[in-house]
Structure 1
Amino acid sequence: MDVSECVLSAGRAVLDVVEREWQPLSPGELEQRLDQAVEEILEAELIAQFKTQPPPTIFVHLPQSQASVEPQVLQTCIRPPEEETPESREPLETVDCAAIKCITDLLQNSQSRARMAGRARLSLSHTVLLSLTLLSERVSYRSVSRRFHLEKGNIHRIFFSFCERLNTLEEKQIRWPVGREAVEALFPLCSPEKEQEEQQGVPVVLGVLGHTRIPIRLPIGKHDVESAGPEVKRMKKEAHPDSWLNLQLACNRKGRFLHCRISKGSDVDRGGALRDKLKQHPELMPSGSCLLARAGYPLTAHILTPYSGSHGPREELFNKTLEEHCHILDQAVANLKARFKRLRYLDIGNYERARAVVLTACVLHNVFLDMGQVFQGDVEEEEAITREGELEMDDEGVHRRDAVSDLLFKMFDSGSV
């Protein structure tokens, strides 16, 4: 690495630290804060003068329904600037008020009661509003600073403090179903209209397992420098593994996340941790149930994956049946990214902070589903296509897949499917 590369890397490191820990006010933001302070002082003086003088008598003919407007108009002059300015009300058009109240109540009732970070005192509801705005829209910190009359550095700290608080709700909101909840979550592998006797031996499905990638900014030191060499051209075609996060998810038939694992792009583990957990705790899977996943995940007694390579009609039918169910996860991921547009690209070079933002979005996804709010997104083509082959297969998984594919083919051959 030559001197120019060292200077470039050091400069990026300094900028990243400044962004993460402190951002001084720019001249424009300082002027905005000074103007706001002067305006508040003048407004306070006018209100004080108004209170010392008798109110003028103004004769205005108003309908009876508007008789109570005057006190409300006076109240708008004595509002806290950071709570009721037009800029702070603007995001209410894109963020549902019921969602703000629900998340505020969740944070108030959670065990983590530490005060949100940030130099300005911002109410919890407005902290939620600010954070949801950043998650739901592709807006800059500068744009949000104008809406809420806060400097960018403060918004940065408030947002990540919100994410840390939401992350503490992971175990409560993204939970594996057990007992009665697990039984109620099961759904049939083949058509539910078929007689139960015909489906004897065919497993029921607890959830669908899959993954997606969340693009992030490359960490300091990982950036490729300008060069005319062939290696640079190759890197332009092949994204650096640390330029995204792997988001592994399992969801039920309603798209609610049951399992969430976030790792670096260089992490090649695909379902191994979940496989080991289910093997150690088989009670987590109700009797006769399974998870479905595309190729690239381990084939086990609990996780069924499609056949790879050349195969006959029996295997094709099995693969087609699995693929139809895998679209459940595709749609859940599409809904997640459509609601939280910031996940399309996280301009964050710090892995832990990027992970906190992604986990926050997953937690909120389940919260909104529990509220009955479904945000429909368009499934991206790359989410539904996997070019990976079979990863691992154990004997029990191979035997169970063959048995299930035989049953499905017999049902199809007899006209039952």
Structure 2
Amino acid sequence: QANRDNVLAATAALTTVIASLNNKTEEKRHRVKVPGFVVNTVPLFTIDEFRSRYRLTRSAFEFVLGELMKYELLNQHEEPTSSKGIPGDKQLLIFLDYIGHQCNQSELEVLYDVSAGKVNEIVHSLPRKIVPTLSSQFIKWPTELEAHTNAEGTLYHSGFPNVLGAIDGSHIEISTASSDFTTRKYRQAITLQAVASRNLLFYDVFVGCSGRMHDARVFQYSPLAAKVQTGENMYGLHLLGDGAYPLLNGLLTPFVDNGNLSNVQKQYNKHLSVARQVVERAFGQLKARFRRLRYIYQRDVPSICYTIVAACTLHNICILKNEASFEEDLDDLIDDYQDDQLAPQNNNQTTQQKRWAIAESL
């Protein structure tokens, strides 16, 4: 009798679970969508409401849309359940909503009255269209005039001479199943390496290396390493990095503090730290504007890389268009990532002498 009661109880429980699953499936099948949101509601947004939702002003949005349409990158997607295509402006709004927030794709499906498959297609395909065309236009190495203008501004604000830009790495947490991306803090992350100017413009970005990889090694993997080491297009200037980077003629780093630094060395480190903060601020503004970069719930690493570079491209467009930053979101974006492994010391006398000469001039 006891066994029979157990079987009946188990059967009843299983029936309840199946019924619950059926109800959820039925609910999903008949999910209520919002018709006409883009046509009827978005035009009524105030300036602040539009910017808060899409992380760009209407002016910047129209500029990006125009660039994408110019290159015929926004084709009309055909809905499986409808003969109507998805207009280009709607595709861009969906992508900006996705990259600007930590919302689920199902929320976008409901809000924009688009199938789940098409939402997924848009958020994955648009970055692959933005990067090959727009990224090369808006993330680019400075001209000699631009580089020296940046150096003059950096000298004025920090006292450090001949600075082309600052380099650093930032972790972007991801959800890939690969253990190769597990960091020393047991998070899964990919590293974004970037060079930023004094006005927080990205001159160069490199993404794809595991978050467990040290900054010096990421740097060596990047095409930037050869440029810095050969002096190509460095215009007699240099980058600034923290102690995780190698000391090179084109990349200056702090004196290692073993507790016995001279006042000259301490002063040099202080000026370098102030000048180098621009890249940290650039990362902060990037993640404040495009909240998806706080955590990218994707498993395909190439798609993740495209999404990150697309965000960097849009960041630069916003800088060039004098878009206001999202300062209110910066407080909770303190990046606790810091590569505490120092790069091997460079014994090259010319490079050492250059650093000492700058230190003694400050």
Calculate the TM-score normalised by the size of structure 1. 0.68
Alignment match, 1:115: 75
| Contact kept in structure 1, 2:196 and 2:202, CA below 8 Å | yes
| Contact kept in structure 2, 1:99 and 1:368, CA below 8 Å | yes
Deviations, residues 88-136 of structure 1 (Å, cap 9, x unaligned): 97784622322221110111223x6462656362111111111101111
Choose the corresponding residue for 2:359, options 402, 405, 410.
405
1:177 and 2:142 are equivalent in the alignment:
yes
Counterparts of 1:103 and 1:347 in 2: how far apart (Å)? 25
Identity of aligned residues (%): 18
DSSP-derived class of the 1:238 partner: coil
1:59-74 superposed matches below 5 A: none
Calculate the TM-score normalised by the size of structure 2. 0.78
| Contact kept in structure 2, 1:86 and 1:147, CA below 8 Å | no
1:362 and 2:312 are equivalent in the alignment:
yes
1:23-42 superposed matches below 5 A: 27-32=26-31
Structure 1 residue 183: Cα displacement: 2.8
1:270 and 2:269 are equivalent in the alignment:
no
DSSP-derived class of the 1:286 partner: coil
1:217 and 2:175 are equivalent in the alignment:
yes
1:338-349 superposed matches below 5 A: 338-349=288-299
Alignment match, 1:390: 343
Counterparts of 1:204 and 1:164 in 2: how far apart (Å)? 36
1:129-168 superposed matches below 5 A: 129-168=93-132
| Contact kept in structure 2, 1:299 and 1:394, CA below 8 Å | no
Alignment match, 1:19: none
Counterparts of 1:32 and 1:104 in 2: how far apart (Å)? 30
Counterparts of 1:114 and 1:392 in 2: how far apart (Å)? 50
Which structure 1 residue ranges, 5 or more long, are not aligned? Answer: 1-24, 37-79, 195-201, 224-234, 409-417
| CA 384–189 in structure 1, closer or farther in 2 if over 3 Å, else same | farther
Alignment match, 1:21: none
1:291 and 2:250 are equivalent in the alignment:
no
Alignment match, 2:152: 187
Structure 1 residue 219: Cα displacement: 1.9
Q: Quick one: which amino acid aligns to residue 215 of structure 1?
A: E
Structure 1 residue 278: Cα displacement: 2.5
Alignment match, 2:161: 203
| CA 394–134 in structure 1, closer or farther in 2 if over 3 Å, else same | farther
Counterparts of 1:163 and 1:244 in 2: how far apart (Å)? 19
**Greater alpha carbon shift after TM alignment, 369-378 vs 182-191:** 182-191
Alignment match, 1:53: none
Q: Quick one: which amino acid aligns to residue 141 of structure 1?
A: Q
Q: Quick one: which amino acid aligns to residue 30 of structure 2?
A: E
Alignment match, 1:44: none
Alignment match, 1:253: 198
| Contact kept in structure 2, 1:118 and 1:158, CA below 8 Å | no
Deviations, residues 157-182 of structure 1 (Å, cap 9, x unaligned): 01111111111222111000123333
Which structure 2 residue ranges, 5 or more long, are not aligned? Answer: 1-23
Q: Tell which structure's C-alpha radius of gyration is larger.
A: 1
Structure 1 residue 349: Cα displacement: 1.2
Deviations, residues 183-212 of structure 1 (Å, cap 9, x unaligned): 333236554698xxxxxxx73111111111
Choose the corresponding residue for 1:124, options 88, 97, 119.
88
| Contact kept in structure 2, 1:331 and 1:378, CA below 8 Å | no
